[in-house]
Each structure stands twice: as structure tokens, then as C-alpha cells.
Amino acid sequence: MAKNIAVLVGSLRKDSYNRKIANEMIRLAEGKLNMEIIEIGNLPLYSEDLDENPPLQWTAFRQKIQSADGILVVSPEYNRTIPGALKNAIDVGSRPYGSSVWPGKPGAVVTSSVSSLGGLAANHHIRQAFVFVDVPLMQQPEAYIGNSSKIFGEDGKTVVPDTEKFLQTFVDAFQKWVEKF
């Protein structure tokens, strides 16, 4: 049976290219992985002060991650590092101390950028945080998608065949990675 994957999109922008990439990956994974975007834009900023009486949004988010078989992150790079909303989601999922929802869930990271560098720095910063919260990350293939403003048509579908082919390769490799756990 297809495993359930929680997809985290690091951009909150309505017309986000990363969201479009995530949606393309969801489409390419059909019948192989059940991938669903879990929204992170509504999560109050993490503070230990709220641990005793956590916001409902935190609890709902933690439950969704808990029930997923794996994690896919699709994110931009902000100022050469992790967008704040994504880091907040990682922090929310990691607490209260001793009750993190992340450990042992296989994961993968895709970054994209309007520049040709494809979010390389953010990709590795995201990996750093997930290593600490004990998410085993797929190492290859890596995904740094550059020139993201040029790879989609009006309908939000990939117009560059090489990119679509690469995303299919990535999804298929991720499916194999998830099956190992």
C-alpha cells in the first residue's frame, strides 16, 4: 500500500514556485506515494512558555506529522538559509522535550530558487536541522532546482521536460527510500 507523506512547503506565498514544484511531485507520485501538503503558515511562533497549554494549531500539526510515514520538504532559500516559517514548523514538531514527532521518519529535501544556485545553502541548513531531530534523509539524488520562474506554464504544470523528468526520478528514489523504513 502507498505510504503517506507529509509535504512541507517553505514558502507562504500564494503563487509560490516551491508550492508548484510540490504539487507536481504530488502528481508524479500518484499511485506510488500518498503525498499531502501540511500547511505551516498558521502555526504560532514556537515558545516553551506555551508547552503546558499548546495552541490547537500546534497540536493538529503534530498529529498530522505523527501519522505520516515520511516527510518531504520543498523550500526556497531566504537570505542563504531556512525560511522562518519552515524552521518554526520544525521547532513546533520537535517539542515538548521528549515528545518530538520527527524521529525515525524518512525524509527528503528539495530546494528551488529563481537564481541558478537552486537554494543550495538552505538545502543543507534544512538537512542540518533534520539530522538533529533524527529524520533519516535521502542523500541522493540531491535537488537544487534553479531558475524556478522559468519552469512552469500558466496552468502551473512543468513546461521544461528535463525538470519533469528529474522530479520523477527524485520521487521514484524517494519512494524506494521510504520503503526501507
Subset of 1-30 contacting ligand FNR (CB under 6 A): 11, 13, 16-18
Binding part of the chain for ligand FNR, among 27-35, 61-69, 109-117, 126-134 by CB under 6 A, reads: 109-117
Separation CA 157–CA 48 (nearest Å):
41
Separation CA 34–CA 103 (nearest Å):
20
- Return the number of the residue (101 or 145) whose C-beta is nearest ligand FNR: 145
User: Could you tell me the smallest distance in angstroms from the CB atom of residue 89 to ligand FNR?
Assistant: 15
Nearest by Cα to 43 from 28, 69, 62, 30: 62
Subset of 80-99 contacting ligand FNR (CB under 6 A): 80
**H helices present in the chain, as ranges:** 17-28, 56-67, 84-94, 120-132, 161-179
Question: Residues in the site for ligand FNR, rule: CB under 6 A?
Answer: 11, 13, 16-18, 76-80, 113-115, 117, 119, 148
